[in-house]
């Protein structure tokens, strides 16, 4: 793009809590003129017609109609990750703006995270670590036991790319695999991982020792797992969530854990994030909570950034947008 002005791209910030990573800047600044929200708000008169794309990292900057009205030349919004519940796709489409995300690059790491949470919960790794390093520990109790993973039944709710990769990993642990999905997978795909389709969610919940959630957050999956669903699960079962916090009715989950309706939960996602420091989920011994780090590896975050840049460049050149999300 030598001799041409670089396209202006709006970002939330650089560095800081939710900003573009510092080690991504060299790559991005060769391709775009990055404008932070602070810079934009301080100089809207000049910048409003310049900005042609928005780069969304950690769901920021937030896009609403007021912002869209102020950016008449906006062509494309590139969002990191797989979830798009933070975007109003119909609103963006009404302004002629194309949207992309990075759904496939996150799947391997998120599947790894799902298995890590399953194993950590089953073998009580967090509790065990706390016991091992506690200054009050004088001995390790012989009856301090976890539960077996090998031979246990894993129910996967949402058999998309992430769910299927979890199944591949669970097969290596000799687990029995059930799954519930909007559409049944091909027979050869089921056979490859030894997965059995449950047309009814209730059947999966009643049979599984571990229930792993890997669905997209939509109006249909909002609080999909509530009081009724938790009561269908085995009292020895563990719930694992690597999708979105709002897929679970969190109040119902707290009650189920406190009353031993289910054995445990391992959550990479909650609502809100982070939870208030006095939230009951943070006080329960049978819960593991991690800070939404399913895709948080250096390599994956770099590839996410590259894919977002690719989508912006394609959209601004009038080419088909890779990984476009349609309303």
Q: What is the pLDDT of residue 70?
A: 97
Q: Is the pLDDT of residue 1 over 50?
A: no
What are the pLDDT digits (tens) for 10-51?
Answer: 999 999 888 999 999 999 999 999 999 999 999 999 999 999
Which of 24, 292, 301, 323 is labelled catalytic?
292
Q: What is the pLDDT of residue 47?
A: 97
State mean pLDDT over 214-238.
97
State mean pLDDT over 92-110.
96
Query: Mapped to the 3 state alphabet, what secondary structure does the chain carry?
Result: CCCCCCCEEEECCECCCCCECHHHHHHHHCCCEEEEHHHHHHCHHHHCCCEEEEEEECCECCCCHHHHHCCCCCCEEEECCCCCCCCCHHHHHHCCCEEECCCCCCHHHHHHHHHHHHHHHHCCHHHHHHHHHCCCCCCCCCCCCCCCCCCCEEEEECCCHHHHHHHHHHHHCCCEEEEECCCCCCHHHHHHHCEEECCCHHHHHHHCCEEEECCCCCCCCCCCECHHHHHHCCCCCEEEECCCHHHECHHHHHHHHHCCCCCEEEECCCCCCCCCCCCHHHHCCCEEECCCCCCCCHHHHHHHHHHHHHHHHHHHCCCCCCCECCC
State mean pLDDT over 88-111.
96
Q: What is the pLDDT of residue 96?
A: 97
Range in 3-12, 119-128, 165-174, 258-267 the model is least confident about: 3-12
Annotated catalytic residue 86: no
State mean pLDDT over 56-74.
96
State mean pLDDT over 220-234.
98
| C-beta separation of 28 from 20 below 8 A | yes
Annotated catalytic residue 292: yes
Q: Is the pLDDT of residue 167 over 70?
A: yes
State mean pLDDT over 133-154.
97
Q: Is the pLDDT of residue 242 over 80?
A: yes
Q: Is the pLDDT of residue 2 over 90?
A: no
How sure is the predictor about 83, in pLDDT bands with cuts at 50, 70 and 90?
Answer: confident
State mean pLDDT over 195-211.
98
Q: Is the pLDDT of residue 181 over 80?
A: yes
State mean pLDDT over 181-186.
96
State mean pLDDT over 104-124.
97
State mean pLDDT over 230-258.
98
State mean pLDDT over 85-104.
96
Which of 244, 301, 307, 313 is labelled catalytic?
244
Annotated catalytic residue 42: no
Range in 2-6, 75-79, 177-181 the model is least confident about: 2-6
């Amino acid at each position: 793009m030598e001799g041409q002005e670089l396209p202006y791209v709006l970002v939330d910030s650089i560095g800081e809590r939710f900003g573009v990573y510092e080690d991504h800047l060299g790559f991005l600044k060769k391709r775009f003129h990055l404008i932070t929200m602070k810079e934009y708000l301080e100089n809207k008169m000049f910048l409003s017609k310049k900005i042609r794309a928005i780069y969304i990292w950690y769901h920021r900057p937030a896009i609403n109609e007021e912002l869209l009205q102020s950016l008449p030349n906006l062509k494309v919004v590139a969002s990191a990750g797989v979830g798009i519940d933070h975007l109003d796709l119909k609103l963006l489409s009404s302004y002629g703006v194309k949207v992309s995300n990075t759904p496939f690059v996150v799947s391997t790491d998120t599947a790894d995270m799902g298995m890590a949470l399953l194993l950590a919960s089953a073998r009580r790794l967090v509790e065990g670590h706390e016991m091992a390093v506690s200054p009050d520990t004088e001995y390790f109790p012989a009856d301090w036991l976890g539960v077996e993973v090998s031979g246990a039944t894993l129910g996967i709710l949402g058999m998309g790319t992430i769910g299927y990769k979890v199944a591949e990993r669970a097969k290596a642990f000799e687990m029995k695999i059930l799954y519930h999905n909007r559409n049944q997978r091909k027979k050869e795909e089921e056979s490859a991982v030894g997965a059995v389709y449950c047309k009814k969610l209730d059947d999966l919940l009643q049979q599984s020792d571990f229930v792993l959630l890997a669905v997209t957050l939509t109006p249909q999956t909002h609080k999909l797992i509530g009081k009724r669903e938790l009561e269908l699960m085995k009292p020895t079962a563990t719930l694992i969530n690597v999708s979105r916090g709002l897929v679970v009715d969190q109040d119902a989950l707290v009650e189920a854990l406190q009353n031993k309706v289910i054995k445990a939960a391992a959550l990479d996602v909650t609502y809100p994030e982070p939870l208030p420091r006095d939230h009951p989920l943070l006080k329960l011994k049978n819960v593991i909570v991690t800070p939404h780090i399913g895709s948080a590896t250096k390599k994956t975050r770099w590839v996410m950034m590259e894919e977002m840049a690719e989508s912006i460049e394609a959209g601004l050149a009038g080419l088909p947008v890779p990984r476009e999300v349609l309303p």
